[in-house]
Structure 1
Amino acid sequence: LDSFSRHLSDRVSSLRKSGLTFAPEAGTQALRDRINKGVTEEDLLNAAMVAFDDNRFSIKLYFMLGLPTETMDDIPGIAELAGKVVDVYYQRPNRVKGKSVTVTVSVACFVPKPFTPFQWEGQDSLEELESKQKLLGSSIRSKKISYKWHDAKISRMEAVLARGDRRLAQALVNAYEAGQYFDGWDEHFSYSLWENAMTDAGLYMDFYACRDIPADEILPWDFIDMGVRRSYFEREYQRAKNGQLTPNCRVKCSGCGIQGCPLSTKEGN
């Protein structure tokens, strides 16, 4: 997003003329810094200007709700940012008369996942996620902005499965026997069946999805060596809490521990 240029827009146009998707991730700068996104409001508005000047009349903005340290005060920032993108379109002196613009705000729910700095962070409760979705919907007032969101119940199951341990195997069997398969499609997904499958296995969704995991706890996936040191994730987790940005690997090696990385070798790490 911070490197989207007219040249890149022209390259994309040579393949297909369509709408573009940008991913600010969060509505406020402080929250973007905490997830190491780094892009600024100016970056987004400049990218939107380039897209509009290239006669693109549809832009999708991708955000996440429930990010670590997020508060209810951060939510309206998403609507405000989308509104500013709409304003950029209509403030252009060379805009095509009679052409309208559509800005789609597409929102997913944060899911903590293994081998990321936020693997220790609990997901918001289902009630909190749904409350934030409603708040965002009420904050969007422009008719030029459409709003799409991901089912919070599906995100809850994604978090359970992402941070699950071997005990979850029985719940998976229970869910399958109850008819839960192909449930990546909404029409096949039943949250109540998954709840029953977990309960019958003696497990609780909130334990896996919502719990903040202590830093000294052995994680279910710690036995997997995927090349990056656990200490690196711990360090990045603390930097995120402090709102400290980590530079792109191509700019400066952060010493994650991957062996044979040409960037690491170049800097002598």
Structure 2
Amino acid sequence: RDVINKGVATQDLLETAAAAYAAGWQSIKLYFMIGLPTETDEDVMGIARLTREVLATRGNRGGGRVNVSVAGFVPKAHTPFQWEAQASREELVRKQQLLKTALRDRRVEYGWHDAGMSVLEAAFARGDRRLGDVLVKAYRLGCRFDAWSESFAWARWHEAFAACRQDPGFYAQRSREAGEVFPWSHLISGVEQAFLWQERLRAYAGAATADCRWAPCPGCGICSNLGASVLLREASS
């Protein structure tokens, strides 16, 4: 969680789960992400351990369920991970299966995002104009409503990329150099590239960056570049 700067402590999560169960809720849904930079199989298995810990907060009340939803990491433009390589489709599937085995419990409902769809998301999230031809080809091959799992067909998308002589791995599974010019470099989000790079280094170190509404300015550039003002919450009396 520190790698993606969530700032959520395990104890806080468990206390919240216990309070929800105590208030009468029967089911809790947890969202996770796999394939993040620095991730190990031990980290993946930590999802199963945390799920069991959440179930344990129900105590002796009996019943209770946990719905576990797992998505694959997708590097996005204008974020500290825009330089990162995504895990391969095969690696994401392998980790999904690790969790499927570890989460075999009648009280746990386990769902995951299609790994092929995650690869597509990563390719188009950091793609360039050449992928326009791939989109058209995929449409002509019958790709429709692909956000719905029952309509998604990885084989058709793979065929579309091949027909256009494009490799989804070039866009999704390729690490970028620090000075690479991106297809989105001409778009100004307000956040300085140097700040994003430093946040990437902090992510690798597991160092979270505090919310600037309550902490000193980290120097991202938004306020100075876009003329924004940080609105601070009034201190409670």
Length-normalised TM-score, structure 1: 0.81
Whichever residue aligns with residue 220 of structure 1, its letter is: P
Given candidates 228, 232, 237, the residue that maps to 1:261 is 228
State the alpha-carbon separation in 1 of the partners of residues 146 and 17 from structure 2: 36
Match of 2:20? 51
State the alpha-carbon separation in 2 of the partners of residues 150 and 187 from structure 1: 12
Q: How large is the Cα RMSD of the aligned pairs?
A: 1.5
Whether the 8 Å CA contact 1:63–1:108 is kept in 2: the answer is: yes
Match of 1:62? 31
Q: Which runs of 5+ in 2 are unaligned?
A: 233-237
Match of 1:152? 115
State the alpha-carbon separation in 2 of the partners of residues 76 and 221 from structure 1: 36
Whether the 8 Å CA contact 2:213–2:231 is kept in 1: the answer is: no
Given candidates 113, 120, 126, the residue that maps to 2:89 is 126
State the alpha-carbon separation in 1 of the partners of residues 23 and 218 from structure 2: 37
**SS at structure 2 position matched to 1:78:** helix
Whether the 8 Å CA contact 2:192–2:221 is kept in 1: the answer is: yes
Given candidates 165, 175, 178, the residue that maps to 2:138 is 175
Whichever residue aligns with residue 87 of structure 2, its letter is: D
Establish whether residue 81 from structure 1 lines up as the match of residue 26 from structure 2. no
TM-superposed deviation, 1:264: 8.6
Query: Which has the larger displacement, 179-188 or 125-134?
Result: 179-188
State the alpha-carbon separation in 1 of the partners of residues 111 and 139 from structure 2: 29
In the comparison of the two structures, how many residue pairs are matched?
228
State the alpha-carbon separation in 2 of the partners of residues 107 and 188 from structure 1: 20
State the alpha-carbon separation in 1 of the partners of residues 13 and 181 from structure 2: 40
State the alpha-carbon separation in 2 of the partners of residues 176 and 138 from structure 1: 36
Whether the 8 Å CA contact 1:83–1:142 is kept in 2: the answer is: no
Q: Percent identity?
A: 47
**SS at structure 1 position matched to 2:66:** strand
Describe the shift of the 1:247–1:105 C-alpha distance in structure 2 as closer, same or farther (beyond 3 A): same
State the alpha-carbon separation in 2 of the partners of residues 51 and 264 from structure 1: 31
TM-superposed deviation, 1:213: 0.8
Whichever residue aligns with residue 110 of structure 2, its letter is: Y
TM-superposed deviation, 1:123: 0.7
Query: Which has the larger displacement, 176-185 or 39-48?
Result: 176-185
* CA deviation string 1:151-177 (max 9, x = no partner): 111111111111101111111111112
| 4+ residue segments displaced more than 6 Å | none
Length-normalised TM-score, structure 2: 0.92
**SS at structure 2 position matched to 1:79:** helix
Whether the 8 Å CA contact 1:123–1:211 is kept in 2: the answer is: yes
Given candidates 185, 189, 199, the residue that maps to 1:226 is 189
**SS at structure 2 position matched to 1:263:** coil
TM-superposed deviation, 1:188: 2.2
**SS at structure 1 position matched to 2:178:** coil
Match of 2:235? none
Q: Which runs of 5+ in 1 are unaligned?
A: 1-31
* CA deviation string 1:54-95 (max 9, x = no partner): 11111001000111111111111101001011111025xxx4
Q: Which has the higher contact order (CA 8 A, sep 6+)?
A: 2
Match of 2:66? 103
State the alpha-carbon separation in 1 of the partners of residues 89 and 166 from structure 2: 17
Given candidates 140, 156, 175, the residue that maps to 1:193 is 156
**SS at structure 2 position matched to 1:44:** helix
Whether the 8 Å CA contact 1:117–1:237 is kept in 2: the answer is: yes
